[in-house]
């Protein structure tokens, strides 16, 4: 079985396993690279899919998937979806380092919003304890947590998931 198919199946299994229930929008405020505090509600529940990627600039698989997330964001930001990055320190999962994240974003031409979080961010987002990085959460246009994947993700997996979810 191909790696892509396994990842896709994992994403769908997690989606339909019952960990997601109807809930209010997450209440989480994090520092942005602009030095300002940003509520997660500025992004989630605003009529677009939101791909929340929890990552670290020193995490090898996180770094490897960034071009996929940037490409997805560029292709969808003016249409139906955006990417939001929540950076933390790797491997401690402590608070993200603003200098490291800013340098990474600049060096890699990351245009989607990046906020600084820590391991508790996933709990505040309704996804339970962080078990590894990268972790990707997918919120529907209404703000419902629809899916989660621990490990690398591709643009194609995200697009397929959204396409299947909108056909329901």
> Over pLDDT 90: what percentage of the chain?
82
Is residue 19 helix, strand or coil? Answer: coil
The whole-angstrom separation of Cα 122 and Cα 116 is: 13
The answer to whether the CB of 141 falls within 8 A of the CB of 166 is no
Q: Domain coordinates of the chain in residue numbers?
A: 3-166
Per-residue pLDDT reduced to its tens digit, 102-140: 999 999 999 999 999 999 999 999 999 999 999 999 999
**What length does the chain have?**
168
Domain 3-166: state its class.
Answer: alpha beta
Q: In what order do the strands lie in the sheet with 114-116?
A: 37-39, 29-32, 114-116, 81-87, 49-55, 135-139, 145-150
């Amino acid at each position: 079985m191909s790696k892509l198919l396994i990842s896709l199946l994992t994403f769908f299994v997690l989606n339909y396993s019952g960990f997601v229930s109807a809930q209010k929008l997450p209440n989480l405020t994090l520092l942005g690279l602009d030095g300002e505090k940003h509520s997660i509600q500025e992004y989630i529940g605003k009529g677009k899919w939101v791909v929340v990627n929890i990552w670290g600039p020193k995490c090898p698989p996180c770094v490897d998937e960034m071009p996929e997330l940037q490409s997805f964001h560029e292709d969808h930001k003016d249409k139906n979806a955006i990417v939001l990055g929540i950076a933390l320190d790797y491997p401690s999962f402590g608070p993200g380092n603003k200098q490291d994240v800013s340098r990474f974003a600049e060096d890699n031409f990351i245009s989607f919003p990046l906020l600084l979080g820590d391991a508790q961010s996933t709990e505040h987002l309704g996804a339970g304890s962080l078990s590894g990085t990268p972790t990707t959460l997918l919120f529907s246009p209404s703000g419902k947590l629809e899916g989660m994947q621990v490990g690398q993700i591709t643009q194609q997996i995200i697009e397929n998931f959204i396409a299947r979810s909108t056909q329901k």
